[in-house]
Structure 1
Amino acid sequence: MYFIQPTRNIPYLDQVINTLPSVQMIQIDDIDLYDPTIIAIADVQDYLIHQWNLPTIVMAFENEGTALAQAWELGALAGWIWNRLPANPEHSLLKIDAQYKRNQDSRDLPSAAELQKRLLPNPIELTNYRIETLFQPSAYLSGDWYDYWKLSDKEIIFYLADVSGHGVTSSLLTSWMAAFHGRSKTPRELIKKLNGMLVQENIEKHITMIAGTLNLETHVLKWSSAGHYPPAIMFEPNHPPKILNTSSFPLGLTEDLEVEEFECVLNKHSRFIICSDGALEPFDGGLNEQFEQLVFHLQNQSFQAPEHVADDIAILSLCRMN
Structure 2
Amino acid sequence: MNSDRYCLLVSDSPLDTVSHEALKSVLTKESVELVEVSGSVAALEAVDELAPDIVFTTPLEEDESWLATISDKVKPNPVVAFASDSNNGRVIKALRQGASDFFVLPIDEPEYLVRSVLRQLNKAKVIADSQYFRDELEQSLALLQEDQQAGRHVQQKMLPPNEVVINDYRFEYRIKPSLFLSGDFIDFFKISESLSMFYLADISGHGASSAFVTVLLKNMTNRLLRNYNRGSSFHILSPTDVLSRINTELLDTGLGKHLTIFVGLLDRIENTLQYGVGGHFPMPILQQSGKAEFLAGSGMPVGLFDDAQFDGRIVELEEEFCLTLFSDGILEILDQPDLKAKENVLLETAARGYDDLQDLAKALGVDQIEEAPDDIAALCVSRVV
Is the shorter-chain TM-score for this pair beyond 0.5, marking a shared fold?
yes
User: Pairwise mapping of residues 159-170 of structure 1 onto structure 2 (< 5 A)?
Assistant: 159-170=199-210
Partner of 1:249: 300
Per-residue deviation, 1:205: 2.1
Per-residue deviation, 1:202: 2.4
Q: Partner letter of residue 300 of structure 2?
A: F
Partner of 2:160: 121
Partner of 1:272: 323
Unpaired segments ≥5 residues, structure 1: 21-42, 47-57, 70-78
Change in 2 beyond 3 A, CA 1:150/1:127: closer
Is 1:44–1:60's contact at 8 Å kept on the other side of the alignment?
Answer: no
Aligned length in residues: 270
1-structure distance, mates of 2:242, 2:219: 13
- TM-score scaled to structure 1, two decimals? 0.72
Per-residue deviation, 1:92: 5.4
Change in 2 beyond 3 A, CA 1:100/1:263: same
Per-residue deviation, 1:107: 3.0
Partner of 2:220: 180
1-structure distance, mates of 2:269, 2:141: 53
Per-residue deviation, 1:136: 0.8
2-structure distance, mates of 1:11, 1:135: 59
Partner of 1:309: 372
Change in 2 beyond 3 A, CA 1:68/1:242: farther
Is 1:281–1:290's contact at 8 Å kept on the other side of the alignment?
Answer: no
Partner of 2:16: none
User: Pairwise mapping of residues 94-243 of structure 1 onto structure 2 (< 5 A)?
Assistant: 95-108=133-146, 109-122=148-161, 123-181=163-221, 182-184=223-225, 185=236, 186-239=238-291, 241-243=292-294
2-structure distance, mates of 1:288, 1:60: 64
Is 2:323–2:380's contact at 8 Å kept on the other side of the alignment?
Answer: yes
Higher RCO (CA-CA < 8 Å; seq separation 6+):
1
Unpaired segments ≥5 residues, structure 2: 10-26, 33-45, 56-66, 80-119, 226-235
2-structure distance, mates of 1:128, 1:229: 27
1-structure distance, mates of 2:74, 2:349: 56
User: Pairwise mapping of residues 278-317 of structure 1 onto structure 2 (< 5 A)?
Assistant: 278-284=329-335, 285-299=337-351, 300-301=353-354, 302-304=359-361, 305=366, 306-317=369-380
1-structure distance, mates of 2:376, 2:311: 26
Is 1:206–1:253's contact at 8 Å kept on the other side of the alignment?
Answer: yes
Q: SS where residue 166 of structure 2 aligns?
A: coil
Is 1:207–1:252's contact at 8 Å kept on the other side of the alignment?
Answer: yes
Query: What is the aligned-residue identity percentage?
Result: 24
Q: Partner letter of residue 209 of structure 2?
A: T
Change in 2 beyond 3 A, CA 1:172/1:19: farther
Q: SS where residue 131 of structure 1 aligns?
A: strand
Per-residue deviation, 1:234: 0.5
Larger of the two Rg values belongs to structure: 2
Partner of 1:38: none
Deviations 1:69-125 (A, max 9, x none): 7xxxxxxxxx65698441596x65763354123321453334533432221023543
Q: Partner letter of residue 233 of structure 1?
A: I
Task: Decide which moves more: 114-123 or 161-170.
Answer: 114-123
Is 1:224–1:261's contact at 8 Å kept on the other side of the alignment?
Answer: yes
Is 1:274–1:316's contact at 8 Å kept on the other side of the alignment?
Answer: yes
Deviations 1:274-301 (A, max 9, x none): 2100122221121111121122223332
Is 1:156–1:214's contact at 8 Å kept on the other side of the alignment?
Answer: yes
Q: SS where residue 173 of structure 1 aligns?
A: helix
Is 1:268–1:321's contact at 8 Å kept on the other side of the alignment?
Answer: no
Greater helix share, 1 or 2? 2
Per-residue deviation, 1:318: 1.0
1-structure distance, mates of 2:209, 2:381: 29
Change in 2 beyond 3 A, CA 1:80/1:268: farther
1-structure distance, mates of 2:31, 2:343: 63
Is 1:283–1:294's contact at 8 Å kept on the other side of the alignment?
Answer: no
Is 2:7–2:53's contact at 8 Å kept on the other side of the alignment?
Answer: no
Q: Which runs of 4+ in 1 moved over 4 A?
A: 9-12, 43-46, 58-63, 79-83, 91-94
Deviations 1:12-62 (A, max 9, x none): 9xx99x979xxxxxxxxxxxxxxxxxxxxxx9747xxxxxxxxxxx76765
Per-residue deviation, 1:155: 1.1
Partner of 1:27: none
Partner of 2:106: none
Q: SS where residue 299 of structure 2 aligns?
A: coil
Q: Partner letter of residue 268 of structure 2?
A: L
